[in-house]
Amino acid sequence: MLDKIRLHAQGKLPPDYKRGTGTDGRVCRFLHVEYSAVAERVLAGATDDEVLEWCLAHGRTPNAEEIFTFNGFLTKRGWRDNQTQELEQMKRERGFTDRPDIQTFFDFHKADENED
């Protein structure tokens, strides 16, 4: 998310890129911080670690079990769940229909970043 904020500010993302939605929104809701406040910190030059420290200080600090569960949820998003169809549509639009290795949104974004 933080890299995308920086890339967007540099004009290096497609015009239809949606900021603060999807996984970005989920992360912000999980930490109880506003996306716009996170983006403001990033654009002010804060490092990734500094942004995380700010989020934990101004939002909430999840415990180890909550982090484990949230990470497990995110790493599997799009695989056999209510967003599988959306992921398959995105694969078609990007020309990844022949990529059975792309089973989650994380897989998709990694492949998409490597295409550019």
Alpha carbon dihedral 90, 96, 101, 107, in 10-degree steps, equals: -40
Q: How many helices (H) and strands (E) does the chain have?
A: 7, 0
Query: Are 24 and 61 in the same domain?
Result: yes
Domain count within the chain: 2
pLDDT for residue 112 is more than 90: no
The Cα 98–Cα 8 span in angstroms is 29
Write the pLDDT tens digit of every residue in 53-111. Answer: 999 999 999 999 999 999 999 999 999 999 999 999 999 999 999 999 999 999 998 89
Q: Are both 79 and 61 inside the same structural domain?
A: no
| Residues 101 and 52 occupy one common structural domain | no
Per-residue pLDDT, 45: 98
Residues 6+ apart with CB under 8 A from 76: 104
Q: Is 102 left (phi over 0), alpha (psi -120 to 50) or beta?
A: beta
Instruction: Please give the Cα distance from 61 to 111 (Å, whole number).
Output: 31
- pLDDT score, position 116: 56
**Residues 2-28: tens digit of each pLDDT:** 998 999 999 988 777 788 888 999 999
Q: CB count, 10 Å around CB of 38?
A: 25
Q: Is a pLDDT exceeding 90 seen at residue 33?
A: yes
Alpha carbons 104 and 101: distance in angstroms, whole number: 9
Residues 47 and 14 in one domain: yes
**Domain match, 57 and 80 both:** no
Enter the tokens of residue 100. 């059975």
pLDDT of 14 reads 77
Q: Same structural domain for residues 81 and 115?
A: yes
Q: What is the rounded distance in angstroms from the CA atom of residue 4 to the CA atom of residue 15?
A: 13
- pTM, entire model: 0.84
Domain that holds residue 32: 1-65
Q: Does the pLDDT value for residue 115 go beyond 90?
A: no
109 and 79 inside one domain: yes
